[in-house]
Structure 1
Amino acid sequence: MNQGTCIRENNVFRCVCPSEYSGSRCEIHDLCQSNPCMNGGTCRSVSENAGYQCICSPRYTGSRCETRDYCTPNPCANAVRPLRASVVDIHPNATWSKNGITVAGGNGYGSGTNQLNHPWSLYVDDDETIYVADHGNHRIVEWKSGATNGTVVAGGNGQGVVRWSGRNGTHGETIISNIECFGLAMDDNGYLYVVDYREHEVKRYKIGETKRTVVAGGNEQGNRLDQLSYPYYVFVDRDHSVYVSDWGNNRLMKWEEGVTQGIVVAGGQGKGNSLSQLNASRGVVVDQLGTVYVADKQNHRVTRWPKGARQGSVIIGGNGKGSQSNQLNQPMGLSFARHGNLYVVDWLNHRVQKFNIEQTQFL
């Protein structure tokens, strides 16, 4: 039944059923076999007409648990709203368009409002407004969704971590000085995580205090599991685990809160272009399943590493360096928007590329 295939084995017939069907004659229609529920939802078979029902995890709604309720718990009323160091929720079978859309820069390098100069990193808010660290111009540029020009919203003097008001701030407040900081993240308690490139460590600060705690590295430069070598980017998940792109060791490290050494979650097999290797790891983001996404700079690609994987898969780029829409030229920062679109800082093309998530495989 239901287009099953009949196979004869030792004078005994059995049915090989298509996806979503089971039973000795493929008579049972079970839509839950393809797991249509997203974000950790549980699929429950119901009547033949209804097909299935998704029992959603907390904070998720929708017929397939595809919608997150950002107001539960209430993020307002004197609470800290962190940068989206926070984990995004990505379907395990998600794919992205192979061709990117230029959403910032892309007009050669320069200091015009439609240009960038060796951009380094970025953040994308819930409205898909982009904030770009325009490294060569020593400024932060805001690009509204669909805009052809950016607006300078911050610029600093000297090295350090500077806080700027998002409400028409004209002067920054230096909160951490005399540090060669590359990566920066914030957790849901409002703590800042700062990558100290020269000291080969990641430090955690509470805003308003000078005390800091080393949460990764801090044992001089090296390749042991308790060491880092010129770290660049940092990501903090919901459990306050720290993910660090360990550039000098061509690996991505995870340090759980309170531990004295990390574990390798991507790369660590020497410099190279095989799927088990990285070459100058840069930006990193992590989803709700612990899957790691890393900008593999010198391989001009973004790779995805499921939790526990020994090798990654290419999801963006990997077509040689270049400026075509399916190419990158030394990608740096990464950021997911709330619905899973992936933004990539394309360093030597002086642009930011947006790669739309493809939803058809979830249907």
Structure 2
Amino acid sequence: MKIVFNFFFIALSLTAAVNCQTCHNVTQYGPCSVNTACGCLYLSSAVNTGICGLLSLTCSSLVECDTRNNACYEPAHICVNHPRCSNKPLCYPLSMTAQQLCAPIPSTTEITLAKSNDSICENARWHQNGITVAGGNGAGLGLHQLTYPIGFFLDHNGSVYIVDGSNRIVKWIRGTSCGIAIVDNYQASSNNDLIKKIRSVVITKNETMFICDQDNRQVQRWFKNDYSGQSVVTNIPCSGLALDDEESLYVSHDRGDRITKWPGGKIVAGGNGLGNSLKQISSDGYFFVDQDKSVIVADIYNHRVMKWPVDNTEGILIAGGNGHGSGLKQLNTPIASIMDQMGRIYVLDNNNNRVVRWSQNATSGTVIVGGKGNGDGKDQLSGPLDLQFDHYGNLYVLDTNNHRVQVFPIDKSSCP
């Protein structure tokens, strides 16, 4: 059985490794590309959603999908409805859906992302209308969809690796409209345990993945192009993961009282039970490791952000700490935080649906994104769970209840 599962998901991984574009609310065979030879082929597993591909393939070149599960076992094929050829779903080659062949119809509303590698200056601002770079097509299991995503990692190429609530990791290459399912719950670790609950992921410069498999109480390491992982930290109730500049691994515990550094398991934040003293944290969320290897903790249930320098036995309050609320001196369930090159803190304030910037030694913050109520507008967030900057200062936010990742481009026009 294990061999069948591995083959099935290897096939899925190979199938998805093409920069395809999807089409939504377009009729079967309807226009979806500037190339008029392309049309929308409905996916067998979705409603009113398809993949944009060349329509000139002969019917005799297409084979039927597996009738048990609508799967295609030929690498780089996907199951579609093609009634001109058959009343049964057919396996269609993804090579005929590549954007080089079926270039998308250009959008007139796209905002150009910043491409300067300068640091973020004090006067930098961010566009208030976000651009959807992953998901945004409702909850679902399609490769163009997400389902209550819970975390993500942004690599140096701008690809987004999303921990989806459907217990999979989906890679969205920048500029594409569908993802690549690279890990899901049917794949096994080296000890043959199937992944039970993916909680977070981080990726090294050579594309090795570390995955928190929470319900199996382990952290797995997946080398590039592997189809299974190795358990590298065991018997640990992991939650969030982070890497420092030397690619040492940091793990937060789901009981919320500590963060440890690996290898070795040294406690680098908390470790004194749950609580609100400076020696304690109460958080099972995300955290950030800065260039000095200080750990920046979004202390969720204490509604504050704490900085733990190396070898400190207590943290330093750097944001919030004035009770939960919506005032600029307050936070309400801060779920994640990051830091820029100048030491300013950016807090994802979950229950206030906003991102707030706190300068060093500030007693209040400034809302830079969101804060306009809970909603699905371009300028709104709904239950956001994670955030990250790219190398240019563009802000990516995991907008969980809207099943999407939004990028808010930076505006440096007021920078010196």
Q: How far apart in 2 are the matches of 1:301 and 1:188?
A: 28
In 2, are the aligned partners of 1:154 and 1:172 still within 8 Å (CA)? no
Given the alignment, which residue of 150, 161, 169 partners 2:219? 161
Q: Distance in 2 between matches of 1:194 and 1:100?
A: 30
Question: How many Å apart are 1:201 and its aligned residue?
Answer: 0.4
Displacement of 1:96 in angstroms is 0.5
* Match status 1:106 vs 2:136: yes
Answer yes or no: is 1:91 the counterpart of 2:121: yes
Mapping of 1:60-139 within 5 angstroms? 67=117, 89-134=119-164, 136-139=165-168
Match of 2:178 in 1: 149
1:200 matched residue in structure 2 = 257
CA shift for structure 1 position 342: 0.5
Say whether the 8 Å CA contact 1:104–1:143 is kept in structure 2: yes
Shift of the 297–67 alpha-carbon distance from structure 1 to 2, 3 Å rule, reads closer
TM-score, L = length of structure 2: 0.64
1:328 shift after superposition: 0.2
Cα distance between partner residues in 1 of 2:235 and 2:331? 31
1:67 shift after superposition: 4.2
TM-score, structure 1 as length reference: 0.73
Code of the residue aligned with 2:356 in structure 1: it is T
Q: Which amino acid aligns with 1:352?
A: V
Q: Once the 2 structures are TM-superposed, how far is the Cα of residue 231 of structure 1 from its aligned partner?
A: 3.3
Alignment counterpart, residue 176 of structure 1, candidates 196, 211, 233: 233
Contact 1:329 1:346 in 2 (8 A): yes
Aligned to 2:302: 249
Show the 5 A alignment for 1:1-363.
67=117, 89-134=119-164, 136-156=165-185, 157-158=195-196, 159=214, 160-166=218-224, 168-206=225-263, 211-362=264-415
What runs of 5+ residues in structure 1 fail to find an aligned partner?
A: 1-65, 69-88
Classify the secondary structure of the residue corresponding to 1:361. Answer: coil
Hey, what's the Cα distance between the residues in 2 that align with 1:179 and 1:198? 10
> Residue 117 of structure 2 contacts residue 391 of structure 2 at CA under 8 Å; is this kept in 1?
no
CA positional deviation for 1:177: 2.6
AA of the residue aligned to 1:215: V
**Deviation sequence 1:90-133 (CA, Å, 0-9, x none):** 11211000000011011111111111111112121222111111
How many Å separate the matches in 2 of 1:243 and 1:215? 11
Q: State how far apart, in whole Å, the 2-side matches of 1:199 and 1:321 are.
A: 27
Which amino acid in the other structure matches residue 300 of structure 2? W
Structure 2 CA distance, aligned partners of 1:99 and 1:140? 26
Amino acid at match of 1:132: I
State the match for 1:80 in structure 2. none
Task: Give CA deviations for 1:133-184 in whole Å, capped at 9, x if unaligned.
Answer: 11x1111111011111000122351322222223x22111221233332211
SS in structure 1 at match of 2:401: helix
Q: CA deviation at 1:199?
A: 4.9
Q: Could you list the per-position Cα deviations for residues 288-310 of structure 1 after superposition, in whole angstroms to 9, with x for gaps in the alignment?
A: 11100011000000000011111
Q: Give structure 2 stretches of 5+ with no counterpart.
A: 1-115, 186-194, 197-213
Q: 1:104 to 1:67 in 2, by over 3 A?
A: closer
The secondary structure found in structure 1 opposite 2:268 is strand
Helix, strand or coil at the partner of 1:132: strand
Indicate if the aligned counterparts of 1:154 and 1:164 stay in contact, CA closer than 8 A: no
3-state SS in 1 of match to 2:301: helix
User: What SS class does the counterpart of residue 248 from structure 1 fall into?
Assistant: helix
Aligned-partner residue type, residue 138 of structure 2:
G
- Structure with greater strand share of residues: 1
Q: 1:299 to 1:362 in 2, by over 3 A?
A: same
Query: How many angstroms apart in 2 are the aligned matches of 1:110 and 1:175?
Result: 32
SS of the aligned residue for 2:355 comes to strand
Q: Is the 8 A contact 1:193 1:234 kept in 2?
A: no
CA–CA distance in structure 2, aligned partners of residues 272 and 140 of structure 1: 33
* 1:22 paired residue number: none
Counterpart residue number, 1:4: none
CA RMSD of aligned residues (A): 1.4
Q: Report if the CA contact (8 A) 1:123-1:131 is conserved.
A: yes
Alpha-carbon distance between aligned partners in 2 of 1:94 and 1:138, rounded to the nearest angstrom: 36
